[in-house]
């Protein structure tokens, strides 16, 4: 019995443990909102000047979320799709000189963002 109580207390105190649904939603929505800005920073398959700083902020939020979220939160469909969108927009940044490829990457990243929105709205 005493070991169970100690384990329970340790799991609550350790970073990366489940922080509850409200904390996850706040962090996921913050990342989602920044990714909306990143998506909107792409005009005619070319990044505008705000794209770089907004993408850097999305990457920083993703890294912070990876450090602070529980494994179960990191495996949620909404987070997996947010993560894929960040990776897609990061790829877009590196291929933006090739307009055809950039267009395909932007469409893929935008699709991941739509999937993330649907999962967030469904509570996943």
- Quick one: pLDDT at residue 20? 59
Report d(CA 49, CA 25) in Å as an integer: 29
pTM as predicted = 0.80
- Quick one: pLDDT at residue 23? 87
Per-position pLDDT tens, the chain of length 124: 444 433 333 444 444 444 558 889 999 999 999 999 999 999 988 999 999 999 999 999 999 999 999 999 999 999 999 999 999 999 998 898 898 999 999 999 999 999 999 999 988 8
Closest CA to 27 of 86, 74, 90, 89: 74
- Quick one: pLDDT at residue 7? 38
Report d(CA 42, CA 11) in Å as an integer: 42
- Quick one: pLDDT at residue 123? 83
């Amino acid at each position: 019995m005493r070991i169970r109580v100690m384990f329970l207390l340790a799991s609550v105190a350790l970073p990366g443990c489940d922080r509850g649904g409200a904390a996850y939603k706040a962090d996921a929505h913050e990342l989602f909102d920044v990714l909306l800005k990143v998506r909107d920073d792409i005009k005619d398959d070319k990044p505008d000047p705000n794209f770089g700083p907004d993408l850097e902020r999305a990457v920083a939020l993703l890294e912070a979320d990876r450090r602070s979220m529980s494994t179960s939160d990191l495996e949620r469909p909404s987070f997996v799709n947010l993560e894929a969108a960040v990776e897609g927009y990061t790829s877009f940044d590196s291929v933006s000189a090739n307009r055809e490829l950039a267009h395909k990457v932007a469409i893929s990243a935008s699709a991941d963002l739509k999937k993330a929105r649907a999962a967030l709205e469904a509570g996943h």
